[in-house]
């Protein structure tokens, strides 16, 4: 039975800048940081008007730049287990390097449920390293405001996975990091298609149990597939096409994987007969190749002949999806579905639902 909105929000700490401290900065151990954070939340609860909070035990705390597909599955399983126990609202604190990737992956993994997950982090640590005799909140940091904003967003319990950062929030699949150190480090938008539009506002107990049964039946398989799941990115540069072709050919001997082609502009990729042949071969060997744009906004289209040719060789257009969102979808399809055909079918079905597909000519 789902918990009511009076149930405490489940807070998960996964590491990152948020929990770093000292000179030089280094992450505090969970044994030190979590009791400190609990105490600070209790002390400021009356003035900050924070909701009731409980802590979801997490044994994976690391720098987010070190996260792997196995780690993404860890957080999926952690949240799935708590969701199966009836909890619905969660706040996840993680590092900013892969925050958008993890948020987008969780969006894919929990599609069609009514879970509420808010992901946040910070560009500066929560604790003031100038004060070495006590743990106090750094008034110049963005950490406290980001955390309290995330908690307040989770109070409403709106279904879906969101990222809250810098005083704003967005559907996780639309978010990308645009600055390496500014407090306004992330941006996103509200025009989110699948999977954000698949979340159910009021899910009946029966439908929720059916969703859980489907997920739990595959948990061990998903975990095992994550060991072998690989997503590669090939960046188009003003090189001879042999460079890109050789990079792509080097991947063909691997088991079926995800490949992101980062094209110029609206997805333009330099043409050569050899590259076209390699893309055809990649498809025949079961690899899923997605074209994305190097531009942060706008996505890809088939307007230009310089880009549209690749879709004749089974490349799939990434549409308006961000690079983190494309990575997340590819990873989820690799661990969730057992054949290249099913992965491709699922991607194309999702895109058709969103109305952003580019059809093969």
Each residue's pLDDT tens digit in the chain (361 positions)? 556 556 889 999 999 999 999 888 887 888 888 899 989 988 887 666 778 889 999 989 988 999 999 999 999 999 999 999 999 999 999 999 999 999 999 999 999 999 999 999 999 999 999 887 889 999 999 999 999 999 999 999 999 999 999 999 999 999 999 999 999 999 999 989 999 999 999 899 999 999 999 999 999 999 999 999 999 999 999 999 999 999 999 999 999 999 999 999 999 999 999 999 999 999 999 999 999 999 999 999 888 888 899 999 999 999 999 999 999 999 999 999 999 999 999 999 876 554 444 444 4
Bridge partners of 358?
none
Helix (H) or strand (E) holding 186: strand 186-187
pTM of the model: 0.93
Other C-beta atoms lying within 10 Å of the C-beta of residue 227: 11
Of 255, 259, 250, the C-alpha closest to 285 is 255
**CA atoms of 327 and 344, how far apart (whole Å):** 14
Helix 69-84, helix 205-216: angle, nearest 10: 150
Nearest to 297 by CA among 320, 324, 326: 320
β-strand pairing of 288-293 with 258-263: parallel
Nearest-angstrom CA–CA distance, 317 and 280: 15
- Cα–Cα distance, 248 to 17 (Å, whole number): 35
* 232: enclosing H helix or E strand: strand 231-235
Other CB atoms within a 10 A radius of the CB of residue 37 amount to: 25
pLDDT at position 159 is 96
CA gap 105, 111 in Å, rounded: 10
Closest Cα partner for 107 from 5, 11, 203, 196?
196
Asked if 102 contacts 110 with a C-beta cutoff of 8 angstroms, the reply is no
Tell me which DSSP letter residue 172 carries. G
User: Which 8-state DSSP code applies to residue 198?
Assistant: G
What is the pLDDT, as a whole number, of residue 131? 87
Tokens 């969703």, located at residue: 211
Q: Residues near 58 by Cβ (< 8 Å), separated by ≥ 6?
A: 12, 13, 14, 30, 78
Quick one: pLDDT at residue 103? 98
């Amino acid at each position: 039975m789902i918990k009511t909105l009076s149930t405490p929000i489940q807070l998960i700490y996964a590491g990152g800048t948020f929990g770093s401290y000292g000179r030089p900065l280094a992450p505090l151990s969970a044994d030190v940081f979590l009791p400190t954070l609990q105490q600070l939340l209790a002390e400021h609860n009356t003035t900050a008007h924070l909701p009731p909070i409980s802590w979801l035990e997490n044994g994976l705390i690391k720098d987010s730049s070190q996260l792997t597909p196995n780690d993404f599955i860890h957080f999926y399983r952690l949240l799935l287990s708590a969701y199966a126990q009836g909890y619905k609202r969660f706040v996840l604190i993680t590092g900013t390097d892969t925050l958008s990737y993890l948020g987008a992956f969780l969006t894919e993994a929990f599609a069609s449920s009514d879970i509420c997950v808010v992901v946040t982090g910070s560009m500066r640590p929560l604790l003031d390293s100038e004060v070495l005799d006590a743990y106090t909140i750094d008034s110049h940091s963005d950490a406290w405001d980001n955390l309290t904003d995330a908690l307040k967003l989770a109070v409403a319990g709106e279904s879906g996975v969101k990222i809250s950062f810098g005083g704003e929030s967005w559907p996780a699949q639309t978010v990308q990091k645009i600055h390496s150190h500014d407090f306004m480090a992330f941006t996103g938008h509200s025009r989110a298609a699948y999977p954000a539009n698949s979340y159910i506002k009021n899910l009946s107990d029966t439908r929720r149990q059916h969703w859980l049964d489907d997920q739990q039946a595959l948990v061990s398989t998903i975990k095992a597939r994550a060991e072998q799941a690989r997503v590669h990115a090939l960046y188009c540069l003003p090189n001879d096409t042999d460079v890109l072709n050789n990079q792509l050919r080097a991947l063909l001997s691997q088991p079926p994987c995800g490949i992101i082609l980062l094209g110029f502009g609206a997805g333009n990729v330099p043409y050569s007969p050899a590259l076209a042949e390699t893309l055809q071969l990649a498809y025949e060997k079961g690899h899923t190749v997605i074209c994305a744009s190097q531009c942060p906004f706008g996505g890809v289209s088939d307007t230009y002949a310089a880009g549209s040719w690749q879709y004749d060789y089974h490349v799939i257009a990434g549409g308006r999806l961000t690079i983190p969102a494309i990575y997340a979808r590819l990873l989820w399809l690799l661990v969730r579905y057992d054949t290249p055909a099913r992965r491709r079918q699922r991607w194309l079905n999702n895109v058709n639902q969103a109305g952003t597909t580019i059809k093969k000519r």
